[in-house]
Amino acid sequence: MKYVASLFLMIILFGCGSSQVEQSIHVRYIRVSPSATEDKPLHVEISYGAINEGMLEFTYSIKNNSDTIVPIPILSFHYIPMIGATDSLARKESPVIQSIDPQKKIALLNAAKDTLLKEKNPYSLNGKSAGTIAKEGIISGIVASVLGQKPEDAEKIRLKNEEEWDNQHKNQLFAIEKLIVFWKKYEQKGERKLTPNNRVMGAVYFQQIPTAKEIELGVSIGDRVYSHRYKQVN
């Protein structure tokens, strides 16, 4: 049980299971296409932000210039890693990387938090019956004797292990709670109804694919994809 929560946390921290993501490498991008795409109904502006919590961050600003309500599906943000020999080949063969869904992340984090809260320190004597403590004491005494340790030294080791486990447990809980707070700031529920002459702004996050020297980021609104191109710089 000591390492179950650690594994849970690693899965959550490092994304959605894509084998193409190398999380230890941080990349950044510069824009190589105009920052804004504008047509009659919409003005769409997307900017590269930073590496945040190990993910690519992009900020967006979308203004409705029409006289009707426009549904904005925030979770339709995506990018294509331009890894192929040509753009057309990359668009055909490269996977489309969808923006991370904050609600799904929060659900995973809450599940990991519940698992952590149910764990009990295996080195602690709290909640154990006198019989169990006596039995474990006998076993510890035998082990200490075999290893040439004094009983008091074995108890010191137990106390040290108990403290280390507690500290690790608290750190994992803190890390998960920090991520829950982070994702709640960007939680989106379905579409945003953008009324005339109003603007919606926010941020979206993606897994990194460091091998993609360029990416084509877009958002699908209605029957159109608003695209912006970015080039990797080191």
Coil, helix or strand at residue 53: coil
Reported pTM: 0.70
CA distance 76 to 82: 19
Q: Could you tell me if 33 and 10 are in contact, meaning their C-beta atoms sit under 8 angstroms apart?
A: no
pLDDT greater than 60 at residue 144: no
Q: Could you tell me if 93 and 230 are in contact, meaning their C-beta atoms sit under 8 angstroms apart?
A: no
Length of the chain: 234
pLDDT greater than 90 at residue 124: no
pLDDT at 210: 80
pLDDT at 97: 92
Q: What is the DSSP letter of 216?
A: E
Please state the separation of Cα 220 from the chain's center in Å.
Answer: 23
Compute the mean pLDDT over every residue in the chain, rounded to the nearest whole number. Answer: 77
Domain extents in the chain: 1-234
Contacts of residue 176, defined as CB under 8 A and 6 or more positions apart, other chains included, come to: 9, 12, 109, 112, 113, 116
